[in-house]
Amino acid sequence: MTTRPKIAIIGGGPGGLMLARLLLLRGLEPTVFERDRHAGDRPQGGSLDLHAETGQQAIARAGLEAEFRAVARPEDQGDRLYDQNGTLLFDRDGAGDNRPEVDRTALRQILLGSLAPMTLRWASKVDAVTPIEAGGFDVVVDGISERFDIVIGADGAWSRVRALLSDARPLYEGVTLVEFGFAAERHPDVDGLVGSGKMFAVGDNRVLIAQRNGHRHIRGYAGLRLPEAEARGWMSLGDDRIRAMLRDRFAGWAPSLVHLIDSGELIAVRPLYALPIDHSWQSRVGLTLLGDAAHLMSPFGGEGVNLALADAVDLADALTSGDGWGAVAAYEAAMMRRARPAAEGAAEGLAGAISAAGVAAVLDQYRQRVEA
């Protein structure tokens, strides 16, 4: 590795942007390729909670604590659990917890604002990464190639870079989330259901979730078991058809809960995928992965973004350690050791919540967290 290698980061999600920020702080000048045309190109998704040892630690290393505090919502860490009849079984306001929530858009905005001009190239969907015999890689966007010494795949679930390192493909988890949005002012009933953070209503193999976001916005999710082909079919249906199918699947649930399906703005149908829990690869000089590209898991563990940010810290340390590619190989091994229990937890969380005994499983999980 040269002292100032030319580095391409493929993907401007939280992991890729955090890595770019940390490398810039150490005098390197990475280039981030992002397929979105601009920051507001597509809905970025809902609220995320940043954990002390991973997400918050990364924010501190990036020197962005003040910016984070300005948008974080420590007041939104509460949990509520209802059964399908609308009976409240658990209610905790989360005051004093240390997992502040932040809107994904706000987190991305902080990271974008911390980069030097020209670091990020919008509307740059990478079509291919091609190894060069003499060393290094060509990154191809719209038929134009540019040569880099090091390429980092921070390109999420359907990473193109990953294919150069492993044959692993994300597998469907059997569960699909349909995402809704609500303005709290216009939906006082939904506002009342949520409490001070997030609510789960759990019934036989189905869940309804609603979570506070910033700016008095609420995100809702209807989660259910669907075969993969059917779930992908739902992605091309109109809103009315999807709502009708959901109403059918949630028949018999309390009207106060079904109201979430009827009244929200429908945002997206999201089949959930995960990489195999033991995913790993033979280290290859000049090419590596971070975040979802390396260890995609279902959101039922609440760890994905935290791991992506922690990976960025460790990879920035490895790339600037002066110890050559061996340091990056060590990063890869440590990253996969850290991701494994989180991936197991996410798979167990999903299997427990979306099951015949889901309500007991989630209640048990909440009680254990209080006792811990």
By CB under 6 A, tell whether 6 contacts ligand FAD.
Answer: no
The yes or no reply on residue 78 touching ligand FAD (CB under 6 A) is no
Q: Could you tell me which of 324, 319, 330, 332 has the C-alpha nearest to residue 293?
A: 332
| Nearest-approach distance from CB 34 to ligand FAD, in angstroms | 5
# residues contacting ligand FAD (CB under 6 A): 32
Q: Which residues 6+ apart lie within 8 Å of 372 measured at CB?
A: none
* Residue 30 sits in the site that holds ligand FAD (CB under 6 A): no
Location of structure tokens 């507001």: 40
In this chain, which of 5, 74, 276, 302 binds ligand FAD, going by CB under 6 A? Answer: 302
Residues 249-288 that bind ligand FAD (CB under 6 A): 270
Footprint of ligand FAD on 145-164 (CB under 6 A): 154-156, 160
Taking the C-alpha atoms of residue 25 and residue 105, their distance in angstroms, rounded to an integer, is 23
**Can you tell me the distance from the alpha carbon of 137 to that of 288, in angstroms, rounded to the nearest whole number?**
12
Count of beta carbons in the 10 Å neighbourhood of residue 88: 13
C-beta closer to ligand FAD: residue 31 or 85? 31
306 binds ligand FAD (CB under 6 A): yes
Measured CA to CA, the distance from residue 68 to residue 83 in angstroms comes to: 35
Nearer to ligand FAD, 219 or 243 (CB): 219
Q: Looking at beta carbons only, is 11 or 286 nearer to ligand FAD?
A: 11
Find out whether 320 and 26 touch, Cβ atoms under 8 Å.
yes
By CB under 6 A, what part of segment 319-358 binds ligand FAD? none
- Distance, in Å, from the CA atom of 56 to the CA atom of 26, rounded to the nearest integer, reads 20
Non-local CB neighbours of 303 within 8 Å, separated by 6+ positions: 51, 54, 297, 342, 345, 346
Nearer to ligand FAD, 243 or 295 (CB): 295
CA distance 248 to 230: 15
Residue closer to ligand FAD, measured from CB, 19 or 190: 19
Q: How far apart are CA 177 and CA 226, in angstroms?
A: 10
Report the residue from 73, 125, 247, 284 that binds ligand FAD according to the rule CB under 6 A: 125
Contacts with ligand FAD, residue ranges (CB under 6 A)? 10-16, 33-36, 45, 48-49, 125-126, 154-156, 160, 177, 270, 291-293, 299, 302-306, 308
